[in-house]
């Protein structure tokens, strides 16, 4: 266990069409971590539109953001176009150079990869995109949260909450993490077995792949090739 300084700056980087739960899930837990101060960074202070149609207000711009102790990149439908945003990638690269922890949730891993931060690392992302991780030099590991040195990647969407609790336990001990888990009554009991390709019925997996992830994966691949 390591001790975090106070304040411990947690910086989330937002872009248009971000998946709000990739951000708000871990943010809700990390903001209660002892000594933590959460910053929401974007290119400007204008609302950042999420992929469910409402906006989130940034608290800082890239120019005036403090140095992150923990940097986090959420994912979402906006990741593919964000890969060609040179200002965003430069900000991520600069912040990561001095951050204690460099992290992502879901397809935010590809922004880390685009910034050169996953080369030779074990990592994970949403199941629909794991085959693309080698394009950013990463080796896929099948887990909800993957630690490789100071780089931590989480799987799809809700994995961000597990990632946050794991980081909190690492920094402050299991009792603190368990207290926050109790505080937010995080006791998942989904109405259906599933949530991963292994635990879901094959016809459901195939339907989701055909209806959504084949096209989205191809879009991500094209964006990675274009920005390589």
Residues paired with 106 in a beta bridge? none
Question: Using CB atoms within 10 A of its CB, is residue 225 exposed (0-12), middle (13-18) or buried (19+)?
Answer: exposed
Q: How far is CA 168 from CA 31, 44, 110, 172, in A?
A: 10, 29, 24, 6
Terminal-residue alpha carbon distance, the chain? 37
Helix or strand or coil: residue 61?
A: strand
Active site residue 106: yes
Q: Are 40 and 60 in contact (CB under 8 A)?
A: yes
SS3 content of the chain, % helix, strand, coil (to 5): 40, 20, 40
Q: Are 168 and 145 in contact (CB under 8 A)?
A: no
Question: 31, 65, 72, 106: which one is catalytic?
Answer: 106
Q: How far is CA 171 from CA 9, 69, 166, 174, in A?
A: 13, 12, 9, 9
- Of all helices (H) and strands (E), which one includes residue 154? strand 151-154
> Catalytic residues, which ones?
106
């Amino acid at each position: 266990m390591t001790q975090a300084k106070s304040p411990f700056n947690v910086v989330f980087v937002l872009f248009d069409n971000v998946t709000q739960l990739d951000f708000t899930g871990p943010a809700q837990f990390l903001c209660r971590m002892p000594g933590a101060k959460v910053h929401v960074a974007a290119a400007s202070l204008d609302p950042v539109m999420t992929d469910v149609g409402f906006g989130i207000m940034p608290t800082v711009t890239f120019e005036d953001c403090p140095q992150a102790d923990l940097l986090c990149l959420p994912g979402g439908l906006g990741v593919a176009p964000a890969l060609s945003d040179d200002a965003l990638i430069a900000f991520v690269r600069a912040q990561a150079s001095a951050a204690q922890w460099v992290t992502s949730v879901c397809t935010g891993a590809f922004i880390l990869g685009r910034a050169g931060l996953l080369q030779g690392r074990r990592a994970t992302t949403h199941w629909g995109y794991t085959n693309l991780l080698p394009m950013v030099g990463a080796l896929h590991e099948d887990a909800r949260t993957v630690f490789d040195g100071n780089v931590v990647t989480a799987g799809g969407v809700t994995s961000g909450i597990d990632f946050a609790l794991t980081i909190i336990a690492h920094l402050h001990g299991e009792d603190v993490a368990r207290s926050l888990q109790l505080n937010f009554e995080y006791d998942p009991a989904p109405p259906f077995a599933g949530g991963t390709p292994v635990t879901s019925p094959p016809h459901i997996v195939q339907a989701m792949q055909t209806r959504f992830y084949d096209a989205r994966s191809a879009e991500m691949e094209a964006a990675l090739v274009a920005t390589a």
